[in-house]
A = this chain, B = another copy of it.
Amino acid sequence: MPNNKMPNSKPEKPAKAAAKTAARAAIAKNQPMLRSIKGGKGTAKPPSGKHDSAKHPAAPDDAPIIALKLEMAKLSPAMAAYFKKCQDKLGFVPNVLLAYAFDMAKLETFVAMYNDLMLGDSGLSKLEREMIAVAVSSQNRCYYCLTAHGAAVRQYSGNPLLGEHLVMNYRVARLSKRHRAMLDFAVKLTASPWSVEENDRERLRRVGFSDRDIWDISAVAGFFNMSNRVASATDMRPNAVYHGQAR
């Protein structure tokens, strides 16, 4: 997937760099871009030409971003820079970042962990990590994550059907043995974590995953079990722009 054509939902710099950036007390001039956690400009404005805004004029169905009244904090320099990068690259700041932006420590740790897991070095491709995200979010019926990461699967794979399959029921996707084993593990870990045992890990090894890969599958599945719950607990709403991406 050519990066210069399809807006990536992630910052260009990978995890570790972003984390450092965040923590390093960046020098960038610190001007909060968004005034309110409830419906910032970035929320409603889709990238021009990507979406027929006439049909979703104000997306009232998906505002405010969360059901909690939390004042957005002054962005730290690192986070201000990161938000600016999102705006430049994606055309919008993902709502989950706005939701966390009431507290810089929480926003920074979330961003650092997210970027390490989803964009850092791994034996799993970025698409594979997004596939796990969607299969887990489907098990948990998380609207925010299904929308944002469903779009990511469509983008990374160039196969819109794959995104739909994983949102609705990953078992209908015609997956390689590797991917089927990967998602079976992630979904079992989601539905009944107490029942995951050595034979489950062995099945992953048999299709070629290393022990480090197994950690990464587990960590990504675990991360979305966290994010799904924060999103559901707060009624988090995705940016409208995701719905039309890469259909």
Chain A interface (Cβ within 8 Å of chain B)?
15-16, 19-20, 22-24, 55-56, 59, 61-62, 67-70, 102, 105-106, 108-110, 112-113, 116, 120, 138, 140-143, 146-147, 158-162, 164-165, 167-169, 171-174, 185, 189-190, 193-198, 201, 211-212, 214-215, 217-219, 221-223, 225-230, 232-235, 240, 243-244, 247
Contacts and interface: CB of A to CB of B under 8 A. Distances in A.
Given A19-B108, A23-B24, A214-B233, 8 more contacts: A55-B160, A68-B211, A141-B194, A143-B164, A143-B165, A161-B240, A169-B194, A171-B194
B56 A160 contact: yes
A229 B221 contact: yes
Contacts of A120: 105
Given A23-B24, A68-B214, A171-B194, A227 B222 contact: yes
Please tell me how many copies of the chain the complex holds.
Answer: 6
Contacts of A20: 23
Q: Nearest 7 A-B pairs (CB), nearest first? A: A23-B23, A218-B233, A141-B194, A226-B226, A68-B211, A222-B226, A222-B229
B171 A168 contact: no
Contact of A194 (B113, B140, B214): B140
Nearest to A242: B164
Contacts of A109: 19, 109, 112-113, 116
Contact of A174 (B24, B61, B171, B201): B61
Nearest to A201: B67
Contact of A211 (B69, B171, B227): B69
Nearest to A171: B197
A159 B61 contact: yes
Contacts of A230: 218-219, 222
A199 to B, nearest CB: 11
A23 to B, nearest CB: 3
Given A222-B227, A233-B218, A141 B168 contact: yes
A158 B137 CA distance: 26
A171 to B, nearest CB: 6
Task: Identify which of A217, A219, A232 gathers the most chain B CB atoms within 10 Å of its CB.
Answer: A232
